[in-house]
Amino acid sequence: MRCAECKGKGMCGLPRCPIVSRFHAQAALKPASSYQGSSPSIFIGSYGWPDMHGGPLLTNDSDSPPDWLDRNLGIEEIVSIRARTISGRSILPSVADNLQEIARSTIPLDVDVVFEKPVAFSLNFDGTIAPVGFTGPVKKMEVLGNARVERVVDRIISDTDVGAADACKALRGSAIDVYQIANLMTAGLLGKRRTFVPTRWAITAVDDTLSIQLKKEIAHYQQDCLYSCPGRLEVRDDRDLGAPDTLGRGRGGYCAGSGGHDKKGIFPDFRCLLLRKARSV
């Protein structure tokens, strides 16, 4: 997001000014002409499609938003991480194999990258793609580490008869992170007719495919049991919402013995274990 109106005076009403965040992130950084370290993911731009440019995202920090949440990182820390990230750019045929190796790996791979010239700082805020601090044209790239590939990922990307939508659903059903699925889509490793896909398009396609599937599943859920989490797991039958639970703590924690807790609910793997333990006391 580039603001040309208030120049960082806060008139946009956003909780954090993108211009100010960009300035502070840039302050302690110096351009480099080479990089040796980790590459957790890849990025391909949509400009010039189908003749696109792309390359590895280079950072020794975590590139996973779920990990940022688990670590309780603030906006300044996330912006700082992304500001230190380098996005390599090259014509795809010259780096295709390396990018696919990075995308299929569940762990960041060590790489050695030499740029044609020192990378340039260009931190832009976008509503779809996480910001990247530096960009630079790749002159030479070598993957040093060995990819660790999940068995289900290896099976799906090896099957060229599985459509891209079905591949996304199968990977998500096997607990593969949605961000890695988008990486695989970007690297052209999913679908019957495989080609590199701009990162922005891959994110949209994966999110749309999985959200449609989830909406269909939710539409068929039973409503016999309601699930909530006010500090503890609770189950109660919707025919008796106002009844106190079996431990006498008011609402929640109640489930009729022959109710819907053994049917497919919002969390089908949950089987009222806490309630059974309570009844045995």
* C-alpha pair distances (Å), 51 with each of 9, 45, 91, 100, 203: 40, 10, 8, 18, 19
Confidence of residue 138 (pLDDT cuts 50, 70, 90): very high
Q: Which residues pair with 86 in a beta bridge?
A: 58, 134
* DSSP string over 155-168: HHHH-TTS-HHHHH
90-112 burial: b if 16+ Cβ within 10 Å, else e? bebeebeebbbbbbbbeebbebe
For residue 227, give every residue at least 6 positions away whose Cβ sits within 8 Å of its Cβ, in sequence order, or none: 233, 234, 235, 265, 266, 267, 270
Average pLDDT rounded to a whole number, residues 226-248: 41
- The one-character DSSP state at 147 is P
Query: What does the pLDDT read at residue 23?
Result: 59
Per the rule left: phi > 0, alpha: psi between -120 and 50, beta: everything else, 72 is left
Q: Which residues pair with 236 in a beta bridge?
A: 226
Sign of the alpha-carbon torsion through 205, 210, 211, 216: positive
Query: What does the pLDDT read at residue 254?
Result: 35
Centroid of chain to Cα 28: 27
86-91 and 134-143: which strand pairing? parallel
* Greater model confidence, 245 or 187: 187
The pairs formed by 266-274 with CB atoms below 8 angstroms and a separation of 24 or more are 266/221, 266/227, 267/227, 270/227, 270/233, 270/235, 272/235, 274/232, 274/233
58-67, 205-214, 235-244: range with lowest mean pLDDT: 235-244
Centroid of chain to Cα 263: 31
24-33, 62-71, 102-111, 132-141: range with lowest mean pLDDT: 24-33
Query: What does the pLDDT read at residue 57?
Result: 92
Residue percentage of the chain with pLDDT more than 90: 31
Structure tokens at 126: 């976008």
Residue 244 has pLDDT above 50, yes or no: no
What's the fold here for domain 18-143?
A: OB fold (Dihydrolipoamide Acetyltransferase, E2P) (2.40.50)
Structure tokens at 68: 């940022």
Average pLDDT rounded to a whole number, residues 253-264: 37
Query: What does the pLDDT read at residue 75?
Result: 75
Question: What pTM was estimated for this model as a whole?
Answer: 0.69
Query: What does the pLDDT read at residue 30?
Result: 73
For residue 161, give every residue at least 6 positions away whose Cβ sits within 8 Å of its Cβ, in sequence order, or none: 192
Residue 109 has pLDDT above 50, yes or no: yes
Specify the domain boundaries for CATH 2.40.50 within the chain: 18-143
